[in-house]
């Protein structure tokens, strides 16, 4: 499959498009990487929203800055797969027999290859059974399959799901876990015995972009996930933000996701309304480059994995909170050899404990910054190297 002049039809099995700067950065980098191997390829992008939804306009606009050959379709690349029936299967023979009856839709049948965009969505049984069937069917049809750098959870699975994972992962042309624990899960839960390319997230080496609105220098930036926030979280962050304003400086709320029920600006507005002091709320839809530019200076507090990456990428110390998959954050801290700091669960922590963590990072921000200046270039170099491995896998697919 040498790429020059050979136009490919490529399917990303599901893009969680919801105006998310981190996800957008992943597929932007992935498409650019593919284009270096197969220029002018066509991309089929199933989404969880109707293709005509206004919620997709920003994402599609961003994608089309890379290539205009994007077709957005509703999610669902196969027919004949019923999750409730499937998870009752007990033997490998039953799983193979069942999966061999699952059929592709017209887009999957016509595609040349299928590539998982990467990220953090492979974290429970139902999601594995949403993502893996299109890969199995593609492999059955002789199409090469690839899993870009992502997190893989390793517990709570039906036996049928583990057997399906074993079948699919061992036939993949490229399989890249983001963390050591994900690598362990692939080996021990799913029995993947092919090469695993351990790599940090694609977004690490995305460049900064100008953000032209004035912001206070050396501020404490905060990004809180709307889809995880609760009343306790809002109260804790509001009180800590007031304490920060009184002792450290200005507080700036930075949205990383700004679409649908994951719109960080909603959570930020609720928090700001409970504060005694003034703060800055960014309401713009930010690209990854703009988010990284805004992250420069001061420190960042966040329960988003990608926000920590954006912060670390520009050598800004950060206070990590528990994301959707706990070991994602620990994996990132391990890769960065980050100074010891507890990863607090915002829904359970106290104002006192969170402020203590913030004060610790703030007080040591110069030494943490110096540490990141040494470590981050190594991480970025490794990401570049693994990107080259993906390109080779695509060429040889």
Tell me the pLDDT tens digit for each residue of 100-128.
Answer: 999 999 999 999 999 998 888 888 999 99
Torsion on CA atoms 359, 245, 253, 279, rounded to nearest 10? 180
Per-residue exposure over 265-300, b if at least 16 CB sit within 10 Å of its own CB, e if not: bbbbebbbeebeeebbebeebbbbbbbbbbbbbbbb
Rounded-to-integer distance, Cα 152 and Cα 121, Å: 8
Tell me the pLDDT tens digit for each residue of 28-42.
Answer: 899 999 999 999 999
Enumerate domains of the chain plus CATH numbers. Answer: 9-198 (3.40.50), 220-377 (3.40.50.2000)
Residue 171 · residue 397 · CB < 8 Å: no
Q: What's the pLDDT at 15?
A: 64
Rounded-to-integer distance, Cα 75 and Cα 383, Å: 30
CA-wise closest residue to 240 among 96, 371, 114, 361? 361
Q: Return all residues near 3 (Cβ < 8 A) that are at least 6 apart.
A: 36, 37, 38, 39, 394, 395
Residue 10 pairs with which residues in a beta bridge? Answer: 43, 113
Q: What's the pLDDT at 16?
A: 61
List, for the chain, all residue ranges whose pLDDT scores fall below the cut of 70.
1-6, 15-17
Rounded-to-integer distance, Cα 66 and Cα 35, Å: 9
Element (H, E) at 115: strand 113-116
Rounded-to-integer distance, Cα 72 and Cα 390, Å: 24
Where residue 332 falls (left for φ over 0; alpha for ψ -120 to 50; beta otherwise) is alpha
Residue 184 · residue 211 · CB < 8 Å: no
Q: What's the pLDDT at 187?
A: 97
């Amino acid at each position: 499959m040498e790429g020059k002049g050979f136009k490919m039809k490529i399917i990303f099995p599901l893009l969680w498009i919801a105006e998310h700067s981190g996800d957008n950065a992943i597929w932007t980098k992935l498409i650019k990487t593919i284009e270096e191997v197969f220029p002018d390829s066509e991309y089929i992008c199933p989404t969880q929203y109707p293709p005509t939804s206004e919620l997709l306009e920003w994402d599609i606009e961003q994608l089309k800055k890379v290539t205009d050959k994007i077709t957005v379709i509703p999610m669902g690349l196969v027919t004949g797969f019923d999750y409730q029936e499937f998870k009752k299967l007990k033997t490998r023979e039953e799983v193979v027999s069942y999966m061999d009856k699952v059929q592709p839709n017209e887009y999957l049948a016509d595609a040349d290859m299928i590539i998982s965009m990467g990220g953090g969505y492979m974290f429970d049984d139902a999601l594995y059974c949403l993502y893996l069937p299109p890969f199995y069917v593609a492999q059955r049809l002789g199409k090469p399959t690839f899993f870009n750098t992502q997190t893989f959870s390793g517990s709570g699975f039906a036996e049928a799901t583990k057997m399906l994972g074993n079948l699919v992962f061992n036939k993949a042309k490229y399989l890249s876990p983001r963390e050591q624990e994900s690598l362990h899960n692939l080996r021990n839960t799913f029995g993947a015995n092919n090469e695993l390319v351990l790599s940090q997230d694609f977004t690490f080496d995305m460049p900064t972009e100008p953000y032209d609105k004035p912001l206070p220098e050396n501020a404490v930036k905060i990004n809180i996930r709307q889809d995880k926030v609760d009343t306790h979280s809002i109260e804790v962050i509001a009180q800590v933000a007031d304490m920060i304003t009184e002792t450290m400086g200005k507080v700036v709320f930075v949205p990383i996701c700004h679409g649908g029920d994951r719109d960080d600006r909603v959570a930020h507005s609720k928090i700001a309304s409970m504060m005694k002091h003034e703060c800055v709320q960014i309401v713009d839809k930010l690209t990854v480059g703009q988010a990284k530019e805004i992250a420069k200076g001061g420190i960042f507090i966040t329960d988003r994995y990608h926000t920590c990456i954006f912060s670390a990428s520009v050598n800004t110390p950060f206070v990590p909170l528990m994301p959707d998959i706990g070991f994602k954050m620990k994996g990132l801290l391990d890769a960065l050899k980050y100074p010891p700091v507890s990863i607090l669960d915002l829904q359970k922590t106290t104002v006192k404990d969170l402020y203590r963590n913030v004060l610790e990072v703030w007080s040591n921000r110069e030494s943490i910054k110096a540490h990141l200046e040494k470590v981050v270039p190594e991480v970025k170099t490794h990401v570049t190297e693994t990107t080259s491995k993906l390109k080779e896998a695509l060429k040889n697919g």
